[in-house]
Structure 1
Amino acid sequence: MDSSNNTANYIEKLEWSLILGNSIQEEQENSSNSTETLVSNIINGLYKECLTCNIAKQIFGTELSAEDDCIKKFVENLDVNAYISKRTKEYISSDLPELESQQQQHHQLFRQLNLLCIAIACLNAFVQISWTGPNLDLESHDLLPTIIREKCNTDELNKKALEILSVDGEETYHLTPQALYLLISRIILVENEQIFTDLKTSLWWAQRVLFIQQRILDNVAGSLHDLMFQYFKTLESKLPSTNLDIYTRYYIELGLLYHYYGQDSLGVDCFLKAQKSSGFQWKITGALGKRTKFQTFDVSQLLIVANSADSKESQDENTTKKNLPDNLILNDDTLLEKIEFSKQDGQKDDKDNTDLDPHNQKNLKNKWYLTYLVY
């Protein structure tokens, strides 16, 4: 019983690490190594590694024979939904007969998380290709078996994916690249949501998939709107009461969803709750400084200073080196790389929010950045 609880707690910890983007420390051996690697690769943005690993190949049937009945049906009618759903259910339901019932449950937990990770990797890969960059050196159809790649070209599969992603009569943007990534993540997380019986965050990721799907539609889709808010309502009861960072993330994303649909008053309420749970403070102020290389005197510079409460999770995050891109140097003939503020005494005379110092700007919690909500 203790072993089962330990496994469940460990899986839950990995789930919330994925939501917050927190680095993980390896705690389990053997069967969990591949799962930890998946989680770590997602957090570090290594989506190609996730989607080309043995777990992904097993889920997608990448190495299946052309004689397989499932492959033949796919080639005949290009039914991506049926193929991915069948592969997903087979992966989840495949038991190891030599294991006892408790070990089977342990095995099932890791399989559910593995499947969640692959769906997340597909979603994040689509967001990276469509919004944030850089381009991903992996075509979406490369996830599928060789015979499918030979029989169906990339454009054909992408067109089919866009047709399936159209909803409520609303067409998808016809130039959307690599839509198969988004479709696969939707099939796993939304169409087959019932298989994630032991996970707490699958609906959160399903909501993110639906929001990205909404973003590539011409107009608002009512069915997506209703389903996303239904997911958020269900999620609220699953949030751990001891982690304020998770509540902050929850209310920010819910507020942005309200904002997207024009319900700004409800969105503001969510943002205020997020501000309260995070200890976030900010103000618009001014400070003397130079903006160009040839300025000989300081002038007032408009700036925003902000601060957020420290937490154990954010402290751990700040001490962990992440796979982040380097800053691009401006290298301008006139402008400085950043504003050079003067350090004159007596500038800080604001009695309100005295801990917000323009000359000592603290790092905010970088986990607040929501890749999925880029405008």
Structure 2
Amino acid sequence: MPLHTLPIEKALLTGKWDVQTTESIQKEGLEIAEKVVNGSFREALTSSFARKLFSLSSTDDLFGQALNGSVSLSQDEVESELLLLIVAVACLHAFVQANYTGPDLDIKPLDILVTPSNGTPLTDDNIDQAAVSALAYGGEPAYHLARHAAFLKLTQILLNTPYKHCQTIVWWRLRTHLIHQQVLDEPVVLSEDVLATFQRWQNPFASDPELAGRLHLEQGLLHHTFAQDRIAAEYFVKAARATDLQYELTGALGKRTKFQQNELSQLVLLAESHLPFDTSAINGTTAVQDHPGKESSSSVPETLALNDDTLLEQTEFTSSNPASSNSRLSHIDPTRQPPLHPLDQCILLSLCLNVRNTSPLHGLTSEQMSPYVARVISHPCNWSVHTMALLLRSRLESTRTRTVERSALQLQALVDQMPATDKEAAPIPERLRFFHSISLPTRWEMEKELAERFISLGVIKSALEIFERLEMWEEVVKCHVSLERADRGVAVIRELLEGSKVESETVLARSKAGVKQQTLDKTREAKLWCILGDLEPEKAVEHYKRAWEISGETSGRAMRSLGGYYFARAEYKETVECLRRAVKINPLLSRSWFILGCACMRLEDWDGGREAFGRCVAIDEEDGESWSNLASMYLRMGTTKKKDDDDEGDKAENSSDVPSIPHSHKMLGYRALKQGLKHSYDNWRMWSNYMIIAIDVGELAEACRALARVVEETSAKAGAEGVVLDEDVLDRLVNAVTRAPSNPEDAVDQSASGAVGTPMVNPNEGHGLLPRVLDLFERTVLPRISSTRVFRAYARLMTWQGRWDDALKAWMDAYRESEAGKISRGESDVLNSNQGDAARVLWREAVGEVEEIVEVLRNLGGKVAAGYGGVKKWKLQARTVVRSFMGRTREDFEDDPEWGRLESLLEELKQD
């Protein structure tokens, strides 16, 4: 395989031209490649090779056979492949410049397409319309106002041509997929074959730390786009390892406010690059290292000052050392950290994104992210990277009262900077150099975010103006609903469907051709019908089905909406049918899988529910509710006994009573609940289900932990009156401890060879389980719950240990909480004569309880060394118990035949 193309391919990937003239590549190829790297796309796309490449055979099927047939190679196959790749990169970066980084392009698709003289004349408008339609994928439409969308479609066509010699074609396909996903309304997962291609591909620059890090980072960003955060995090860490980026989140003494007197530990991210770089060589400017955050040129976006009367612009660290002296980066002064390589800054921002996605409900999320962003902002080295850092800071500050103003203004400044063409603005090559290593949003997405920020501030009309200009009609409708003008929202959608409301992209075509009706792209028209279905519930089914038909049965949105409609009306069979179609089109939306799983549960389709909830947790590992439902499915699979289910399917009580459940399914359910509890630690119902399954599979140590969590959570939420305690489980735990020999030396493993046994420590029984059960009683149960059964269980445990004082005390506590004890204190309703025979039954049971406590006192009294004072003490205690009970009940029950039992018992105590 020829290697002389690698230097040029490397230059295209890095955006830095350092290729020496070589005779192996013709001068034309070198010149075109250098122009593309330097951002001169017009010269590259109007070259003689490009003109031949974009010569159309006809103007019909513009991005189909008409253009595909023109992609051909010359006699020099290597040279032609390289030129083809160079032109594809030029098209891709032209699209990026037009829609992401700015400034405005000086070339249009019409300038490069050569049409036949006898064909229908093309216009910029119908070229872009054809491109937007061709970019729709997986039932998701592409944004119809994307600028010069034809360049992205041309890139896809050029890169899909078979290549034999260019070694980085897979990498460029990865970059194209990343950009394409951002153009769609919702990300659509790629096929397994495509993803496997990216994973298997061998990077020819693997020995280059920077390029190795770039590839890992971009692979991570692709999975981040699909919300596969765990996989994305693995790639981000690989990227940091490839570049040898050292970073650590730690603390250092400092001040955060202007009036702060005491120094407190503040979060700081220590980071150090090991990639060789020169800031001035990277972006033409040099960050002033003596004054972090200030640069000598305006080639990076403006960083707006906070100007708050309390908060400082940035944390002032008063310590030159981090809090942890064991840190690998303890030599770094938090106040004067060295500049980072721009690629390492990209990695930090990506790690910051992952912190946000894996901890969305944690209170410290913004505090965790802020040090990452501050570390990047402190040394601006690249236009795109600094833009991304400011955008992240703006998002973080949007929820804080003292920073919300700067948040909105900073976001507005970032939106305004895109079309800048003045000489002081960053040059095109700098803007594109690290573009693929960050998740910079498109122009319209950034403006949409600004409009959403206005909505959060209550400025609905300003947001509405932005949405109308961007023609994001779903958001327009939401604004009208917020303004209590839902009828206006319906009118807007109907006008669009009827063609009476003109979108900006059709203005030019209609003025020239006199078109009376607007022709909508099928995917966009289907989306409008779905929006109308949301607004008109009485006709929802009709509108959703219309959307499904118009889209050619590719609109996942239509099936998701229709499935949700049926589910809300308990039509589960229809729900399953619709949602199976929806998840087949777009399997990344966990909410669709969840509702599908719930519908399968209602239909008792346990296998279908298991598959659906399994996909939910594969997409979002932190979805505790789906883990719980998945466990419920495992515990029902293969059963014949019908059980009642609730909407969430998280009721697993008595699941162990179904004998047909295989043990393997029980273990799968146990593991699923154990995983789910990591993310729903406060859900006592999940803990209760986990406790029951743990008992069933023999994991008694885990059952003990689960029982403690149930008691703690229910007591914290409902107080002592609402504590939930499964006394059956408590008894089983005590039984598991007490069935083993009380002497540890007696619990030995007798080997078959007759060798001397060794003490066994089984965490699920005997002395291995004892510490957990003791802690359960003494720390959790006894301080919160007083019941006869609890005290009796504790008494049995104390007796097994030979702790006679504690055992006897527990038995007496149990007696006091029993019916007999309440009768003796006059707190029972048994003495109410109106109860008749029922009262006598209860009284006779209480007599048995009195006999039981006397027997306990007789057996344990002599063993107690203190507390009850030996024989005399226990006899006195026993006589007191009997006399007290007889005194309270004599008037009502002295004529009962069982009364003689009490008299005989008292006589025995007198004689002992």
Q: Which residue of 1 aligns with 2:174?
A: 207
- Report the count of equivalent residues: 331
Q: Does 1:371 align with 2:435?
A: yes
Task: Output one character per residue of 1:89-108: Cα deviation in whole Å (capped at 9) or x when no partner.
Answer: 1xx1x22xxxxxxxxxxx32
Distance 2:256 2:4 in 1: 51
> Is 1:80 matched up with 2:63?
yes
Are residues 1:174 and 2:150 paired?
no
Contact 2:253 / 2:318 at 8 angstroms: preserved in 1? no
Matches within 5 A, 1:210-221: 210-221=177-188
Residues 204 and 231 in structure 1, CA contact (< 8 A), matched pair in contact too: no
Distance 1:331 1:256 in 2: 28
Residue matched to 1:354: 330
Partner of 1:307: 272
CA distance 1:330–1:265, change in 2 (3 Å) = closer
Cα drift, residue 179 of structure 1: 0.7
Is 2:154 the partner of 1:188? no
Is 1:49 matched up with 2:43?
Answer: yes
Cα separation, 1, equivalents of 2:213 and 2:94: 25
What amino acid is the match of 1:20? Answer: T
Give the letter aligned to residue 144 of structure 2.
H
Q: Does 1:153 align with 2:123?
A: yes
- The question of whether the paired residues in 2 share the 8 Å contact of 1:50 and 1:121 is answered with yes
Deviations 1:78-99 (A, max 9, x none): 432323322221xx1x22xxxx
1:87 partner SS? coil
Whose Rg is larger? Answer: 2
Question: Pairwise mapping of residues 2-151 of structure 1 onto structure 2 (< 5 A)?
Answer: 8-29=2-23, 31-61=25-55, 70-71=56-57, 74-75=58-59, 77-89=60-72, 92=73, 94-95=74-75, 107-145=76-114, 151=121
List gaps (5 residues or longer) in structure 1: 62-69, 96-106
Distance 1:290 1:54 in 2: 60
1:25 deviation in Å? Answer: 3.0
Question: Could you tell me how far 1:166 is from its partner in structure 2?
Answer: 1.2
Return the offset for 1:282: 2.2
Q: Tell me: CA distance 1:333–1:260, structure 2 relative to 1, closer, same or farther (3 Å).
A: closer
In the other structure, the counterpart of 1:252 is: 217
Tell me, what secondary structure is at the counterpart of 1:151? coil
Superposed CA offset, 1:38-59 (max 9, x none): 3333333332332233332232
- In the other structure, the counterpart of 1:66 is none
Aligned to 2:653: none
SS at match of 1:174: coil
> Larger % of helix: which?
2
Specify the alignment match of 2:196 in structure 1. 230
User: Offset of 1:346 from its aligned partner?
Assistant: 4.4
Cα distance in 2 between the residues matched to 1:332 and 1:253: 32
Q: How far, CA to CA, are the matches of 2:38 and 2:197 in structure 1?
A: 27
* Structure 1 residue 160 displacement after superposition: 0.7
Contact preservation (8 Å) 1:44, 1:323: no
- The correspondence for 1:265, drawn from 211, 215, 230, is 230
Return the offset for 1:120.
0.8
In the alignment, the residues of structure 2 paired with residue 334 and residue 298 of structure 1 have an alpha-carbon distance, to the nearest angstrom, of 22
Q: Name stretches of at least 5 consecutive residues in structure 2 with no aligned partner.
A: 286-297, 347-433, 442-912
Query: 2:239 — aligned with what?
Result: 274
Considering Cα pairs closer than 8 Å and 6+ residues apart, tell me whether 1 or 2 has the greater RCO: 1
CA contact (8 A) 1:24 1:40 kept: no
**Equivalent residue, structure 1, for 2:300:** 327
Find the aligned partners of 1:270 and 1:12 in 2 and give their Cα distance.
25
Question: Partner of 1:164 in structure 2?
Answer: 134
| TM-score normalised by the chain length of structure 1 | 0.74
Q: Give the percent of matched residue pairs that are identical in Structure 1 and Structure 2.
A: 22
Asked if the contact 2:305/2:313 (under 8 Å) is kept, the reply is: no
The Cα shift of 1:180 comes to 0.1
Q: 1:46 to 1:363 in 2, by over 3 A?
A: farther
1:180-233 CA-to-partner distances (Å, cap 9, x unmatched) read 00000000102x1x1x101111111112112222222223334x3435413312
Structure 2: distance between partners of 1:302 and 1:133: 35
Shift of 1:140: 1.9
d(CA) in 1 for partners of 2:320, 2:304: 33
Label 1:232 to 1:139 Cα distance change in 2 as closer, same or farther (>3 A): same
Deviation per CA, 1:5-63: give whole Å up to 9, x if none. 7xx322112212322334313231485333233333333333233223333223223xx
CA deviation after TM superposition for structure 1 residue 319, in Å: 6.5
Q: Residues 35 and 110 of structure 1 are in contact (CA less than 8 Å); yes or no, is this contact kept in structure 2?
A: yes
CA distance in structure 1 between the aligned counterparts of 2:183 and 2:236, rounded to whole angstroms: 25
User: Is the Cα–Cα contact under 8 Å of residues 119 and 189 in structure 1 kept in the other structure?
Assistant: yes
Give the Å deviation of 1:150.
7.9
Q: 1:290 & 1:32 partners in 2: Cα distance?
A: 60
List per-residue Cα deviations over 1:246-284 (Å, max 9, x = no partner): 221121111121222122111111112111111112234
Which residue matches 2:165? 198
Whichever residue aligns with residue 251 of structure 1, its letter is H
In 2, Cα distance between the equivalents of 1:360 and 1:46?
39
Q: Which letter maps to 2:334?
A: P
CA contact (8 A) 2:246 2:273 kept: yes
Residues 342 and 170 (structure 1 numbering): CA distance in 2 closer, same or farther, change over 3 Å?
Answer: closer
Q: Determine the C-alpha separation between the residues in 2 that align with 1:360 and 1:333.
A: 21
CA shift in 2, pair 1:28/1:354, >3 Å: same
Contact 1:26–1:36 (Cα < 8 Å) also in 2: no
Paired amino acid for 2:342: N
Deviates more, 1:352-361 or 1:199-208: 352-361
Distance in structure 2 (CA, Å) of the matches to 1:298 and 1:36: 62
Instruction: Describe the shift of the 1:333–1:306 C-alpha distance in structure 2 as closer, same or farther (beyond 3 A).
Output: closer
Confirm or deny that 1:243 pairs with 2:201. no
TM-score, structure 2 normalization:
0.33
What is the alpha-carbon distance in structure 2 between the residues aligned to residue 189 and residue 109 of structure 1? Answer: 15
Q: Aligned letter for 1:374? A: L
Q: Per-residue deviation at 1:344?
A: 6.9
Closer/same/farther in 2, CA of residues 309 and 321 from structure 1, 3 Å limit: closer
Q: Shift of the alpha carbon at 1:146?
A: 6.0
* TM-aligned CA distance change 1:169 to 1:346, over 3 Å: closer
Check conservation: 1:289, 1:340, Cα contact below 8 A: no
- Matched residue, 1:65: none
